[in-house]
Amino acid sequence: MKRILCPKCDNYITFDETKYSEGQSLVFVCEHCKKQFSIRIGKAKLKATRKEEVLDEQANSQDCGSVVVVENVFGYKQVLPLHEGDNVIGRRNKGTDVDVSIETADPSMDRRHCIINVKRNKQGALVYTLRDNQSVTGTFLMNEILGDKDRVRIEEGAIITLGATTLILRAAGDVEP
Ligand SMILES: [Zn+2]
Average pLDDT over residues 36-57: 65
pTM of the model: 0.71
Distance 82 CA to ligand 1 centre (A): 28
Average pLDDT rounded to a whole number, residues 139-155: 97
Are 123 and 98 contacting, i.e. CB atoms less than 8 angstroms apart? Answer: no
* Percentage of the residues of the chain whose pLDDT score is greater than 70: 90
The rounded Å distance from CA 12 to ligand 1 centre is 8
Q: Report how far residue 164's alpha carbon sits from residue 58's, in angstroms, rounded to the nearest whole number.
A: 24
- Within its chain, how far is the Cα of 2 from the centroid? 18
Tens-digit pLDDT profile for residues 66-83: 999 998 888 888 999 999
State mean pLDDT over 88-114: 93
User: Distance between CA atoms of 156 and 25, rounded to whole angstroms?
Assistant: 47
Ion ligand 1 contact residues with beta carbon within 5 A: 6, 8-9, 30, 32-33, 35
Nearest by Cα to 139 from 94, 103, 88: 88
Domain range annotation of the chain: 2-50, 55-170
How far away, in angstroms, is 29 Cα from ligand 1 center?
A: 8
Mean pLDDT of 32-55: 67
From CA 16, how far away is CA 12, in angstroms rounded?
Answer: 13
Residue 143: per-residue pLDDT:
94
Residue whose C-alpha is closest to residue 5's, from 45, 51, 50, 41: 45
Indicate the CATH number of 55-170 among 1.10.3720.10, 2.60.200.20, 2.50.20.10, 2.120.10.70: 2.60.200.20
